Amino acid sequence: MTEQKQNTKPFPGQIEEIPGGGIVLSKLDDIINWARSNSLWPLTFATSCCGIEMMATASAKYDFSRFGFEVARASPRQADVIIIAGTIVNKMGPVLKRLYDQMADPKYVIAMGACAISGGPFFYNTYSVVKGADHIIPVDVYVAGCPPRPEALLHALISLQQKIKAGLTREQIKTTNE
């Protein structure tokens, strides 16, 4: 992913200065991706300990609203990104699937913490833990840690924004990396 040409300019496109203002020349796809990535609204979904670190990222010291994640919606119909913070167990699996289905396209998923990536510390000898949230829904970004520091979660959010600005769909990313 990092070999992709990153959009280092603040705004995608060429700006030509003319007297009285300027003309912006760009692709419509680039502008839409830029707008989408800077205004992702997360869904409040925290099952266990990683939820506290997500709340800490939302609060004043490691604020994530400066990246556009200001409004955390409680309803999945109004959210863009779901941050799975915590362990998913067999009883919670259908609930997660139903929430994901209710979200409107385009939607993104961040798996935060070791439990959401692969079952984490509860991998061996448990009868009720789903060993990784990607058994249920497709995941875009994985954040390692138990729990990850707020800076790690911010890095994940910025990576998601870069992924959106690069503009590839999920199938295209799979074929370019192979």
Partner 1 sequence: MFEEIGTTTEGDLIINVGPQHPATHGVLHLVITLNGETIKKVEPHLGYIHRSIEKMCESLTYRQFIYVTSRMDYLSAHINNQACALVVEKGMQIEVPERAKVIRVLMAELTRIASHELWWGAMAMDIGAFTPFFHAFRERETINDIMEETCGARLTMNYMVPGGVMQELHSDFQKKVKEFIKLFKLKIHEYEELLTGNIIFQNRMKAVGILSKADAISFGCTGPVARGSGVSCDIRKIYPYDAYDKVQFDEVIETAGDSLARYMVRLKELHQSISIIEQLIDNIPEGDFQAKTKAVLKLPKGEFYQRVETARGEFGVYIVSEGGTTPHRIKFRSPGFSNLSALDHMARGSKLGDLVAMMGTLDLVIPDIDR
Partner 2 sequence: MMNEALKTRITELLATATFDETGEWLNISIDSTQWLTFAQQLRNDDNLLFDYLFCLTCIDNKTNLTMVYHLTSTKYRHNIVIRSSLNTDNPEIESVASIWKTANFHEREVYELFGVNFLNHPDLRLLILPDGWEGKYPLRKNFEDPVNMIKL
φ and ψ of 110, to 5 deg: -115, 125
Tell the smallest beta-carbon distance from residue 128 to partner 2 (Å): 7
Name the strands in the sheet holding 141-143, side by side, starting at the edge strand that comes first in the sequence.
Answer: 42-43, 81-85, 108-112, 141-143
Q: Please classify residue 135 by burial: count the beta carbons closer than 10 Å to its beta carbon, then call 0-12 exposed, 13-18 middle and 19+ buried.
A: exposed
State which of positions 3-42 bind partner 1 (CB under 8 A).
none
CA atoms of 42 and 97, how far apart (whole Å)? 16
74 binds, among partner 2, partner 1, none (CB under 5 to 8 A by kind): partner 1
Among 9, 123, 146, 170, binds partner 2 (CB under 8 A): 123
| Contact status: 98 vs partner 2 (CB under 8 A) | no
131 binds, among partner 1, partner 2, none (CB under 5 to 8 A by kind): partner 2
CA atoms of 9 and 12, how far apart (whole Å)? 6
Size of the site for partner 1 (CB under 8 A): 36
| Contact status: 54 vs partner 1 (CB under 8 A) | no
Among 46, 67, 68, 131, binds partner 2 (CB under 8 A): 131
| Contact status: 56 vs partner 1 (CB under 8 A) | yes
State which of positions 53-92 bind partner 2 (CB under 8 A).
90-91
Say whether 150 sits in a helix, a strand or coil: helix
Among 5, 20, 66, 124, binds partner 1 (CB under 8 A): 124
| Contact status: 47 vs partner 1 (CB under 8 A) | yes
Is the dihedral angle over the CA atoms 73, 77, 82, 85 positive or is it negative?
positive
User: What is the residue whose two structure tokens read 């007297």?
Assistant: 19
Among 31, 32, 92, 139, binds partner 1 (CB under 8 A): 92
* DSSP secondary structure string for all residues of 4-58: SPP--SSSSSEEEEETTEEEEE--HHHHHHHHHHT---EE--B-STHHHHHHHHH
Chain residues that interact with partner 1, rule: CB under 8 A? 43-49, 51-53, 55-56, 59-61, 74, 76, 86-87, 89, 91-92, 94-95, 99, 121-122, 124-129, 146-147, 149
